[in-house]
Structure formats: C-alpha cells, structure tokens
Structure 1
Amino acid sequence: DDLMVGGPKKESQTTVAVVSPALTSQYHVQFVEGAVEEGESYGWKVQSLAGDRETNFAAQVDLVESAVRKGVDAMTICAINDKAIVGAIEKANEAGIPVFIHNSLTELEGVDIAGYTGFDQRKAGRLCGEYAVKILSEKNSDATSTVYIITGIPGFHSNERVAGFHEIIDQHPNIEVVGSGPGNWERLGGMNLAETALKANDQVDLIFAVSDAMAQGAAQAVQEAGKDTMTLGLDGNPDTLKDIQAGVVTASLAVFPKEMGKIAMQNIKNYLDGEAIERRNETPLKIIDASNVGEYLN
C-alpha cells in the first residue's frame, strides 16, 4: 500500500463550501438553496457553512479555516467583514483552494480571489432612493416628507446601500431624514428601531431598511402603532413578497439570491473545468411592490 503514495489521485467527488454569515435571513437561505441545487446537478457535494449570527466574525473565520483543513475543491464566501476574513482567505490561497466571493463585487485587497458574483450594492441603494422619491412625491407632492433609515451592521453592505440611497434623496430638499440606527440585519432590531422612531416623530412617511427582515420588523411596528408609514426593504425574499401582497410591507428591491446561488456555482464549475470566466458577475435588481408582486410570487 505504501507504494501508492504520490500516485495519481483517484477521481473523487468535487466538494464546494458555501460560507454564509448566518442563516438568520431568508436571503442567505435562498442563496444556499440555489447553490446546492445547481452544484448537485453537477454531481458535486455542496457544504453549507454558516455562523449563528451575522455579527459573529470569528465564527465565519473558523468556518473558512476548517474548510481549508478539510481540503474542499473550491469555496464561495459572503464575507461579513472584509478585514476579518482576509487572514482565513490567505490560508485558502496557500493551500491552492480557489476562493470566490458572493453578494459583493468589491475587490478584496491583498488576497487572491478567483471571481465575484453579486449585485452593485451602491446601485441597489440608489434604486431604493429613486423609488422612495417616487412614492413620497405621490403621497406628499412637494410638501416635506420624512424618512427614517434602518441600517444593518456597520460594514460594506450596509454602508454602500445607505450611501446610494443618500445619493438620490439628498438631491431633494423636501425629503428630510429624521434619524437612523442599526437593526443588525434582524427583524427584531428593525421592529425596535421603528417603534422608537414612530414615538419620537409626529410623522414618519417612510422607513427604509437595508434588508427585508428589518423592513418586516418595521412594518410590524407600524401596524402596532396604527400608523400609515410606508416601508421599503431590500432582498425580495418570498415571505416579504407575501407581506407586500397583503399590504403590510410597501415594497422591496429584489436581488434574486437563489438565482445568484446558481450563477455562483456555474462560475465555479467553469473555473474548475479550466474555462475562462468573467471576474465580475453582476446579478439583476428589481423593485417589487403591489403593482407587480403577482408576477414574482410562485
């Protein structure tokens, strides 16, 4: 048996790790579903690795390092925090494991990334800003409109979305931002912030949350307070679409995570097959509200 060392490697099943921040958001659940479906259609083993909470940087670093030790064939990561994850990616680079990034198109500095799949986060914020301007002018025409912003955890995704939103609404002097706070990507966080904002201000016309879970929490607070505040989220999760159809949430910018999961896997397959791939795969964005939600609900 000892003589076999260094002989040709047996054809074993390709294993790809999908590393999410956590599976507390439908967004990441949907991405993993798409990735697993696509990967399994190639006969791959797709391992879903996720921390317990989206704030747990250390857990994500550990997951990437353990995937490196197990010797997966490739991995795709949605990094919670770019700086925190770099050390773990360096280890993957040293081990010769190709690393892909999903849910972001922004170059990670100092490490070797094979490809990116995701949407332009700032553009997503701008599209939400444009929609906000539209619905606020429909409601109040030129009179002053008030907006409260629920951010995620400070970091790339949240900061870019908020910056894009501001790029648009700041051009409109009749739109006033009455406050903002971090909902930590969680429904409860969104609900608590909205509750406080609704008490602190006589009128909040719109709450913009940079994720659906937080927008749903905000919508719940609006309902409980008996207010007519509109709510705008970002993800286009299936349960949010039901809320839009029911008139609970006003709208969401859909980012089609399941589709993104499939595209990410197609990209990895092409790379492993030795084909040339697009370094940046930009995925689609679409505002969904009462006018078109029927087309997107299964």
Structure 2
Amino acid sequence: MRLAVFTKNLTNPAYGAARLGAERAAAALGGVEVLHFVPQTPDDPVQQSALIAEALALQPRPDAFVLSPVHATKVDPAIRRVAEAGIPMIGFVNPIDAAPSVSYVSSDDHALALGIARHLFQHLQGAGRVLIVTGPEASYTSNERLRGFRDAVAAFPGIAVAGVIAGDYDRSVARERTSQWLQGHGGPDACLVANDIMAVGVLDALDAAGRHATVVGVNAIPQAIDAIAAGRMLATADFNAMQMAYLAAECAVSHLRGEAVPERIELPVQIVDARNCQQWNLPYEARPVITLDQLNDRRQAP
C-alpha cells in the first residue's frame, strides 16, 4: 500500500513533523510505504500542482493521497485530476475544497488564535500595545488565526493593535520585517505571532534591537518550547501537525482496508506555557501520538 503525502514546504518545522507523523503511522500499521512530495519553493501552488501530476504518473499509482493544499484555490485543477483518477484523498491542516475527501484532520485555527491571544492579554492585565505578525496573505490557517486575534482584541478594550505585518511563516522574513517595523514604531509591549517559527524570528529581531516584548506563537515546535522554558517566550498554542498527519495517514489506510473513518477530526486547543511545557519538551520522534482507536475511546468516554 502506497501513500502520497503532500506537505507545504521544507522550511517550517511543523511540516517536518507532519512528514514524520505519516511515517510513524505507516510503521505502526505495517505494509505501508510513504512517498513525500514537497515544493522546493515554500507554499508554491505551481510546484505542488506539478508534484501532484508527478505522483499521478507513477506506476503503480499511489493508493491514496494525504494532502495539505498550499493555496485555497490555485491547486484545485490538480486536485480535481486526483478525484478523476479515482484515488481517495485525505486532507490535513488545510481543507480540500475542490473535490470530495474521505476525511479531514486539523485544529480550529480561529479557536487556537483566540485562546493564545486571550492568554497573552490576560498576562498583560488587559492593557498594552500589541504587534500582530501573520502568515502568508493567501494562507487559510493564517487568515483564520488573524480573525481569531482580531476577535480577541475586540474583547479587550485596553489592548491596542500597534501594527500588523506579514512574516510569511518564515523565520528570516519575520525577523527582517519585524526589524523594519521596530525602526519606525518603537517597541510594542507584546507580539502576537501566527506561528512559532515566525515567533523565533521576532525574538531574533527584538534581541538585535535591544528591545523586550512578550511573545506568543502557535505550533509548539521544539524551538518554541526551548524559548518558553528559558523564559524568552510566554506561550504557544499546540497546532500538532505531526498528530494530524499521523491520523490522516491512518484514515487513508483504514479507508483502503474497507473500514469506516471519521469525516472530520478536530484536535483540541492546548496552551503551552512555563507551567506545562515539559510535557512538550521532547523531540518529535518521542512525542506521544494517539491512534484512531484511542480517539474513538476518548469520544465514547462519559
């Protein structure tokens, strides 16, 4: 059994964890081969479309596609060709809208953003100037997280948005754009960042400028956990891409074996800070994952 796994880039550690999650599922299930397809240019819809065509041209073809689309619409023609070939698709992180999918595994990005923003604002005692750092403009997760950030701001009258910049889910981009912003605007009290690798870039920029601000992110990547343990970051929200890809791969295999799988799996919001970060202070290979059976047991528990 062969699974074609499509992740968005080689730059975000969360997607490295997702690739590992698919491989961990394959190893646990047995008799499953994972083929990875990753754009060399991060989040490039043209390259992902070409990789989909490449996977469709393989002989034998993959039995299922486990796919995180890099764009809400620009990969749609390629996705429709997968459906036309009769190959089942399982989405993770971002939904597959262009064709039916067997299952979709993700977290509620709006709820994650709302949770981490509220955590930050409560830490600030409801008052302060906050710089928001978003992901790519066309990113589904970034737009949902920005919406969650703005909804949280609306509930805290003492919080002022000092600025909004796009860090494109990239450490170097976030570092450079934060540095430029700091030169023209001075220091904010806090930075509300849409993912952790950008949060690390924001910390780089603050350090270089000799400024301090309270920083939070999303993803719970090892670099963020290290920063929280060292007191450099306040918190992150766990967007567990490894777990998502694990369950998506397991859904693909279960479906191919004729078993029923959930149409949608949504992981819970978990805030990680100094009080509990030791639970996440593990390499991805050692972090626990839950299986479909364990997930079903949790749902059925009183």
TM-score by length of 2: 0.88
Matched, 1:37 2:27: no
Structure 2 unmatched runs, 5+? 283-302
Q: Which residue of 1 aligns with 2:52?
A: 64
Matched, 1:114 2:102: yes
- Choose from 139, 145, 148 the match for 2:128: 145
Distance 2:253 2:13 in 1: 25
**Counterpart amino acid of 2:178?**
A
- Choose from 168, 180, 200 the match for 1:216: 200
Distance 1:297 1:121 in 2: 23
> What are the superposed Cα offsets for residues 118-156 of structure 1, whole Å, 9 maximum, x if unpaired?
11111111112211221111xxxx5x4101111111121
Return the offset for 1:107: 5.7
Return the offset for 1:228: 2.0
- Choose from 205, 221, 237 the match for 1:237: 221
**Counterpart amino acid of 1:151?**
T
Distance 1:158 1:262 in 2: 22
* 1:23–1:284 Cα change, 3 Å: farther
**Counterpart amino acid of 2:83?**
N
Q: Which residue of 2 aligns with 1:11?
A: none
Q: Which has the larger radius of gyration?
A: 1
Matched, 1:95 2:79: no
Q: Which residue of 2 aligns with 1:76?
A: 66
Structure ranking higher on relative contact order (CA contacts 8 Å, 6+ apart): 2
Check conservation: 1:208, 1:233, Cα contact below 8 A: yes
Check conservation: 1:76, 1:102, Cα contact below 8 A: yes
Return the offset for 1:194: 1.8
Q: Which residue of 2 aligns with 1:3?
A: none
Distance 2:70 2:137 in 1: 10
Check conservation: 1:76, 1:100, Cα contact below 8 A: yes
Check conservation: 1:190, 1:209, Cα contact below 8 A: no
**RMSD in angstroms over aligned alpha carbons?**
1.5
Distance 2:116 2:71 in 1: 23
Matched, 1:187 2:171: yes
Structure 1 unmatched runs, 5+? 1-13
Q: Which residue of 2 aligns with 1:206?
A: 190
Task: Name the stretch that deviates more: 224-233 or 24-33.
Answer: 224-233
Check conservation: 1:150, 1:193, Cα contact below 8 A: no
Task: Name the stretch that deviates more: 19-28 or 262-271.
Answer: 262-271
Matched, 1:27 2:10: no
Q: Secondary structure at the match of 1:31?
A: helix
Q: Secondary structure at the match of 1:150?
A: strand
Q: Where has structure 1 moved over 6 Å in runs of 4 or more? A: none
Q: Secondary structure at the match of 1:82?
A: coil
**Counterpart amino acid of 2:137?**
P
Check conservation: 1:102, 1:264, Cα contact below 8 A: yes
Q: Which residue of 2 aligns with 1:4?
A: none
- Choose from 258, 265, 277 the match for 1:281: 265
Check conservation: 1:55, 1:153, Cα contact below 8 A: no
**Counterpart amino acid of 2:92?**
H
Return the offset for 1:223: 1.7
Check conservation: 1:25, 1:213, Cα contact below 8 A: yes
Distance 1:146 1:54 in 2: 31
Check conservation: 2:90, 2:251, Cα contact below 8 A: no
Return the offset for 1:197: 2.7
> What are the superposed Cα offsets for residues 166-197 of structure 1, whole Å, 9 maximum, x if unpaired?
11111222111011111111001111122123
Q: Secondary structure at the match of 1:184?
A: coil
Distance 2:23 2:130 in 1: 39
Q: Secondary structure at the match of 2:75?
A: helix
- Choose from 266, 272, 284 the match for 2:250: 266
Check conservation: 1:16, 1:74, Cα contact below 8 A: yes
Distance 2:119 2:42 in 1: 28
Q: Percent identity?
A: 24
Return the offset for 1:211: 1.0
